[in-house]
Copies of this chain bind each other. A is one copy, B any other.
Amino acid sequence: MNAVSGGDGSGGAAEHAHTTAWIASRIRNGIAGGELTPGTKLSEQSLSAALGVSRNTLRQAFTALAEESIVRRIPNRGVFVASPGPEDIREIYRVRRAIEPAAVLWGDITPQKLDTMEAVVQRAQAARDAGSVADMADANQAFHREVVGLTGSGTLGRMMDRVLAEMRLVFYAMSSAPDFHSHYVDRNVLLVRRLRAGENEKAAAELREYLDAAEAELLGHLAGRAAS
């Protein structure tokens, strides 16, 4: 019945001392996959039964997910999958506007990394040409993930993962913005070209404008959707 089907017995990669992380990952995937939509309440009783774990360990997974702010915990009310609002979007872009240009400006840029970035961009282009919105969105996110990867910092990388996960929730809330990413694919092409030419400052500046525009567009879409 629940979106997250029962996992007892199957799989079998979860032995001792791993089930909490396993469950957390399970829920994370459920959210990323769209089975658990923003605002959904995650009942302890239902979920623990559905996942075949104790209410106690589920609770522990909840605290981990809450710490990642993938999920919002309201005291005595329960946990809900996060549903970002305008302020959350602004915050997301505050972070991105700081981290991504910094990575471009000061990151450790190697030809190898540029190659993988270019490959990701091409994947996005192919998806756009094929009309596959989901793939394009994925590739686009992967691209920006690669951008902060230029810093070489695992911490920043994980933070970006969190931010992108939150972005996915935003996108879900406005399913009627299919061509949001298509505008920006060309910009990514240009960005890689700039980096190859060593024009990092210019790249960073353009990336910031890019992010400003994306934020404005998102907020506009959201406002339009809220007014309807």
A residues apposed to B, CB below 8 Å: 16-18, 20, 56, 59-60, 63-64, 67-68, 75-76, 91, 94-95, 97-99, 101-103, 106-107, 151-156, 159, 163, 208
- A153-B63 Cα distance, complex, nearest whole Å: 23
A106 with B97, Cβ < 8 A, contacts A16-B76, A17-B75, A59-B60 known: yes
Query: In the complex the two chains form, is A106's CB within 8 Å of B208's CB?
Result: yes
Contact B106 A151 (CB under 8 A): no
Nearest 4 interchain pairs by C-beta: A67-B67, A94-B153, A102-B102, A17-B75
Closest to A151 in B: B98
Main SS at interface, chain A:
helix
Q: How far is A163 from B159 in the complex, measured between Cα atoms in Å?
A: 13
A170 to chain B, nearest CB (A): 15
Nearest-neighbor residue (CB-CB) of A201 within chain B: B201
A201 to chain B, nearest CB (A): 10
| A63-B60, A76-B16 as given contacts; A152 in contact with B102, CB under 8 Å | no
Residues of B within 8 A of A75 (CB): 17-18
> How long is the Cα–Cα vector from A102 to B204 in the complex, in angstroms?
11
Complexed CA–CA distance, A155 and B156 (Å) = 12
Give the distance to chain B from A212, nearest Cβ to Cβ, in Å. 11
Query: Given contacts A18-B75, A20-B63, is CB(A98)–CB(B97) below 8 Å?
Result: no
